[in-house]
Amino acid sequence: MKDPVIEVRDFRKTYGDFVAVDGISFEVQRGEIFGLLGPNGAGKTSTLESLEGLRAPDGGLLQVMGVNPARQSRKLRNVIGVQLQSSGLPDSIRVDEAMKFFSAYHGVAPRYDLLDRLGLAEKRSAQYHQLSTGLQRRLALALAVAHDPPVLFLDEPTAGLDVASRVEMHNLMRELQAAGTTIILATHDMAEAEEMSDRVAILLRGKIAASGTPLELTATGAGLTKVSVRTKGSSLSAPGVTFPAVSQQGFKDEYAIYFSTDIGPTVSAIIAHVEAQEDTLIDLRVERPSLEDRFLEITRTEGTNTGGAQ
Amino acid sequence: MSAFVNHFSFEFRTGIRNKTLLLMNYLFPLGFYAMMGLVMAEINPDFVETMIPAMVVFAILAATMLGLPDPLVTAREAGIFRSYKINGVPAFSILVIPALTTILHMVVVAIIITSTAPLLFDAPWPVNWPGFVVTFLAMAFACAGLGVLIGVISPSSRMTVLWSQLIFLPSMMLGGMMLPYSLLPETVRKIAQLLPTTQAMNAFRGLAQGLTADFDPVGSLIVLLASGVVAFGLAIYLFNWDRRNSTQRGHPLLALLALLPYAVGVLLLS
C-alpha cells in the first residue's frame, strides 16, 4: 500500500528569468531511500532546499509528512533532519556542544551515543574547525538524526569519507531505513545511489529525465552489456570470429571483450565456440550497465536533444 | 528556555575562545586602557577626571563595532544560519544573544577598569553609581544594536569593516573620550552629537561623574535608548537567513534610520 511521506506536484522554482525547476512531480514512500541525481544546475538543490523550507516555491505543491515546508516551518523542523552539504556549524563549537545546542532547540535530550557510534567519541571536546572533512560530515549526520526525524535529507553524505567511514555511514542509513525513516539522498556518487536507493529520479534542466528503481533504469537504457572472456588457448583470437548480438569487440589483458545488445545468445555462442575449438574457458564475466552508465547516457542524450551543454 | 540558556552559554564562551573576539572584547580595550593610563595621564592631567567612563565607552565601542558584526556576516555566508533555521533557532536569538553576551563581556571589562583605575592612575570613581550603571547599559544597548545592524546589512567582511569604521573612527576622534566635547568647534559639535560615544560621555559626565554635562544628560540617555530600539528593530526586520536565497525585505540603506534619534538629539538637545 502506498504511503507517501513526501509529495511534489508540478513544483516550479525560478530565479528571475532562469527556470531552475520546471514543474516536476514525484512521491516518496514511507521508509524508502529515494536518490535525487543530476548534474550541477539540474535543479536538485532547489528541490531539496524547497522541501527543507529554505526556499519558497514559485508554483506547485510540496508536502513533507503533510506539512507545507514554506508555510509551516515550526512543524517542519520536527519532522525533518537535514545533513547540509556545507558545514552549517560555527568553527569554534565543540562536538558535544553542537549536540547539546541543536538537541536543546529540538527539545530532546542530547544523543551523545550517536557521537560514539559515528566514531566521534574521542573528538567530543574538539572544535568543529579541528575536525577532518570526514568527521565533520559524521557530526552533521549525528546532529541531523539526533531528534529522531521521520524524514532525513542527506546531501552528499559520504563526500570526503574514507572507505571504512563510508561503509559505516551506509550501515547507519540502512538502520535508519529499517526503523522506518524515509531518506532523500542527493549525491553525485552513482555507485552509492545504485547501492543505497530504492528508487531514483534523475533531474536534468529542471525536469525529471528518468525515474524508477536502479534496476529499472539500467534495464531500460540502450546500454550494452560487457562480456569479458579468457581462455587457455587462442580460440577467440582467430580472425573472423564473431558472435550474435555483438556490436563491438576487442582484446585487453588476455581477455576478449564483447559488447552485446542481447546477452543470452552472445554467451551461449561464445561457450559453444570455445568447446567446438576444444579450448578451455578460464574466466567469463558479464557486467550489466551501471547506473552511472545509464546516467551518462541520459545526460548525453538530453544534451544532444536540447542542443548541447548548458 | 533551556535552548536560549544553552545558546547564550555557547556564545559567551565563543567570545573568549575565538581569538578575534578575545582581542576585541578584552585585549584591545584593556591594552588601550593601560596605555592611555600611562601616557595620557602624563600629557593631559584632566583626562584622568573622565578616564573611567572614557575607557569603558572605548571598550564598548571596540567590542560592538569591531567584534560583534563580522561573526554575523561570516556565519550567514558560511550557511550557519541556514542550518540554524532548519533546526529551529529563531532569528531573534541569532541577533540578540551575541549582543547580550558582548554586553556581559563589557560588564567584566568595565569592572576591571573601574576597580583598577583609581588604584593605578588616581582616576576618580563615579559619584553616582546608579547613574553610571544606567549610562553604561544605555551605551552598550545602543552600540550593540548598531553592531548587530551592521552585521545584518553587510554583504561581506570587507564591507563590515567599512561600516564599522564609519562609526568607530569619528567616535575615537570626536566622541569626547580623548578630547572634551567643549573644546570642539561649534560646527563639529553638531557632527559629534550624531555619535553614540558623545551622548554616552555627556551622560556619564552629568549623571555619574558629578561633572557639568555639555547638554542635557537625560536627553543623551533617551537618544541612546531610542537608537538601540530602532537599531535592533531594523536588524530583525532586515535579517536574512541566507543572502543567496532570501528575498530582501528592505533596502540595507534603511539601516541609516538607526541614526535618526541622534539627528533628533542634535535638534533638541542643548
* pLDDT tens profile B59-117: 999 999 999 999 999 999 988 999 999 999 999 999 999 999 999 999 999 999 999 99
Q: Is A73 on the interface with B (CB under 8 A)?
A: yes
Q: At residue A258, what are phi and psi to the nearest 5 degrees?
A: -125, 140
pLDDT of the residue at B121: 93
Residue contact A54–B86, C-beta within 8 A: yes
Number of A:B CB contacts under 8 A? Answer: 69
Please report the pLDDT score of residue A295 as a whole number.
Answer: 80
Chain B closest-CA separation from residue A291 CA (Å): 31
Tell me which chain B residues have a C-beta less than 8 angstroms from the C-beta of A100.
6
Q: How many helices (H) and strands (E) does chain B have?
A: 13, 0
Q: How confident is the model at residue A146 (pLDDT cuts 50, 70, 90)?
A: very high
Contact call for B86 and A86, based on CB within 8 A? no
Q: Report helix angle B2-17 to B91-121, nearest 10.
A: 50
Q: Pick from A85-99, A112-126, B129-143 the range whose average pLDDT is largest.
A: B129-143
**Domain segments of chain A as ranges:** 4-219, 224-287
Distance from A114 to chain B by nearest Cα, in Å?
A: 17
- Residue B269's pLDDT band, with cuts at 50, 70 and 90, is confident
Q: Which of A43, A52, A88 is nearest to A70 (CA)?
A: A52
Q: How many domains does chain B have?
A: 1
pLDDT of res. A226: 82
Pairwise CA distance, residues A243 & A223, whole Å: 18
Does the pLDDT of residue B250 top 90, yes or no? Answer: no
CB contact under 8 A, B89 and A84: no
Question: Confidence band (pLDDT; 50, 70, 90) for A308?
Answer: very low
Band (B148; pLDDT cuts 50, 70, 90):
very high
pLDDT the model gives residue A237? 85
Tell me how far apart the alpha carbons of residues B29 and B59 are, in angstroms, rounded to a whole number.
5
Most confident region among A251-255, B55-59, B209-213 by mean pLDDT: B55-59
Extract the C-alpha cell encoding A204. Answer: 536534468
Question: What is the pairing mode between strands A225-231 and A255-260?
Answer: antiparallel
Q: Do A54 and B82 touch (CB under 8 A)?
A: yes
Say whether residue A101 is in contact with chain B using an 8 A CB cutoff: yes
| Partner-chain residue, chosen from B6, B75, B245, that has the shortest CB–CB distance to A101 | B6
% of residues, chain A, pLDDT over 70: 94
CA distance A175 to A45: 26
pLDDT of the residue at A248 = 77
Chain B residue nearest residue A153, CA to CA: B86
Mean pLDDT, rounded, of chain B? 92
For residue B251, the model assigns a pLDDT of: 84
Residues of A in contact with B85 (CB under 8 A): 53-54, 73
CATH of domain A224-287: 3.30.70
Q: What is the mean pLDDT of residues A17-37?
A: 93
Judged against a pLDDT cut of 80, whether residue A200 lies above it is answered with yes
Retrieve residue A92's grid coordinates. Answer: 569554534
- Put simply, the answer to whether A101 touches B78 (Cβ < 8 Å) is no
> Whole-prediction pTM value?
0.83
CB neighbours of B145 closer than 8 A, spacing ≥ 6? B99, B227, B228, B229, B230, B231, B232, B235, B258
Interface of chain B toward chain A, CB-CB under 8 angstroms? 2-3, 6-7, 10, 14, 17-18, 71, 75, 78-80, 82-89, 241-242, 245, 247
Distance CA B225, CA B142 (A): 6
Is the pLDDT at A303 greater than 70? The verdict is no
Mean pLDDT of chain A: 87
Give the pLDDT confidence score for residue B51 in this predicted structure.
Answer: 95
Is residue A306 over pLDDT 70?
Answer: no
- Looking at residue B247, its pLDDT comes to 62
pLDDT band of A309, cuts 50, 70, 90: very low
User: B139 to chain A, minimum CA–CA distance in Å?
Assistant: 28
CB contact under 8 A, A105 and B88: yes
CA dist A310 and A125 (Å) reads 46
Interchain contact, A102 vs B86, CB within 8 Å: no
Contact A154, A183 (CB under 8 A): yes
Mutate one of B83, B244, B248 to test the A interface: name it (highest A CB count within 10 A). Answer: B83
At residue B161, the pLDDT reads 93
Question: Binning pLDDT at 50, 70 and 90, where does residue A307 land?
Answer: very low
Report DSSP letters for A111-179, one per residue. Answer: -HHHHHHTT-GGGTTSBGGGS-HHHHHHHHHHHHHTT--SEEEEESTTTT--HHHHHHHHHHHHHHHHT
| Amino acid code (one letter) for B249 | R
Instruction: Pick the more confident residue, B197 or A251.
Output: B197
| Cell, residue A126 | 574538539
A80 shares contact with chain B (CB less than 8 Å) = yes
Q: Is A90 on the interface with B (CB under 8 A)?
A: yes
- Asked whether the predicted pLDDT for residue A213 surpasses 50, the reply is yes
pLDDT at A96: 94
Domain A4-219: CATH superfamily, name plus number: P-loop containing nucleotide triphosphate hydrolases (3.40.50.300)
CA distance B126 to B51: 10
A105: chain B residues, CB-CB within 8 Å:
3, 7, 87-89
Return d(Cα B179, Cα B185) in angstroms, integer: 12
Domain of B64 in residue numbering reads as 2-268
* Residue A169 to residue A228: CA distance in whole angstroms: 33
Neighbours of A1 (CB within 10 A): 4
Whether A219 has its CB under 8 Å from any CB of chain B: the answer is no
| Residue A116 C-alpha, separation from nearest chain B C-alpha, in angstroms | 22
Stretch among A149-163, B4-18, B224-238 having the lowest mean pLDDT: A149-163
Residue range A234-251: average pLDDT? 85
Strand, helix or coil at A41?
coil
In this predicted structure, which of A97-106, A154-163, B211-220 has the lowest mean pLDDT? Answer: A154-163
Torsion of CA A91, A94, A99, A101, to 10 degrees: -70
Instruction: Note the pLDDT of residue B264.
Output: 93
pLDDT at B245: 61
Residue with cell 536533444: A305
